[in-house]
Homo-oligomer: A and B are copies of this chain.
């Protein structure tokens, strides 16, 4: 049985990703920070680690990439995309109406994502910030009364809360991407889920910064008709103004096109390193509920 570390506590969106990917086939271990979760994989305390990498609520995207690049270079072996759905959760003994809620607990990002809903429906409620959506549910579970938490369905189940209003987030179609890390680049035992294609994440460092540099880098992919699903420039840790690029390519790394593109980039003086080539999965409400 695999040990899987994740950014906790229970009831967060990261735990939803873990649950959707592995269901009951693993032993999950909650960590308090992204670096602690990555270190645990490196030291062998866990076999796999699951951390957010894009558009996260709990935890920062940049922290995950920076830690993987500068400190502990573990390969990415899978990606899971989870829809962000926020609900208004109350204690099961709550019998009142929504407008009677006096205080709302949640992570600052979750409250911000439901800004319009709160403004229109519960404008007089006090807002109280917690370090995660899971912690918010825990507080409402233990205090009860006219309090509410904002969090996902898993938080509701975990802490026995009632969903008073579902889907209260302001934007539909909002997603968070998580990556699965492992010490060796072996496939991960995902059951039941259908693979949604493959992807390779690379890091490209320019020999120096000049106008048109990124344009040159992208040429190597463009004329080979390789599709890039994400590109982001990130500052180097050596000071402002030095950038490297993180590029997601919709292609396996051992594809023949890739070796050509890599050779072209190296001929320009770029350094190319691979953060992982891995399958993509989509976690829908069906997987999370089961």
Contacts and interface: CB of A to CB of B under 8 A. Distances in A.
Interface of A: 32-36, 39, 55-56, 58-63, 66-67, 70-71, 81, 108-109, 111-113, 115-116, 127, 129-131, 170-175, 209-212, 214-216, 218-219, 221-223, 225-233, 235, 237-241, 243
A113 B71 CA distance: 12
Given A33-B111, A129-B32, A219 B215 contact: yes
B175 A240 contact: yes
A34 B112 contact: yes
Nearest to A282: B240
Contacts of A225: 211-212
Count of chain copies: 2
Given A127-B32, A212-B223, A112 B239 contact: no
Contact of A218 (B33, B171, B173, B218): B218
By secondary structure, the A interface counts as mixed
A33 B108 contact: yes
A215 B212 contact: no
A217 to B, nearest CB: 9
Contact of A214 (B56, B171, B231): B231
A237 to B, nearest CB: 5
A215 B222 contact: yes
The winner among A70, A131, A211, A243 for most chain B CB atoms within 10 A is: A211
A173 B33 contact: no
Contacts of A230: 233, 243
The winner among A231, A241, A243 for most chain B CB atoms within 10 A is: A231
Nearest to A7: B108
B218 A59 contact: no
Contacts of A215: 215, 218-219, 221-222
A71 B130 CA distance: 25
16 contacts: A59-B108, A61-B62, A63-B113, A70-B171, A81-B240, A131-B131, A171-B237, A173-B238, A211-B226, A214-B218, A214-B228, A215-B221, A229-B243, A230-B243, A231-B232, A231-B233
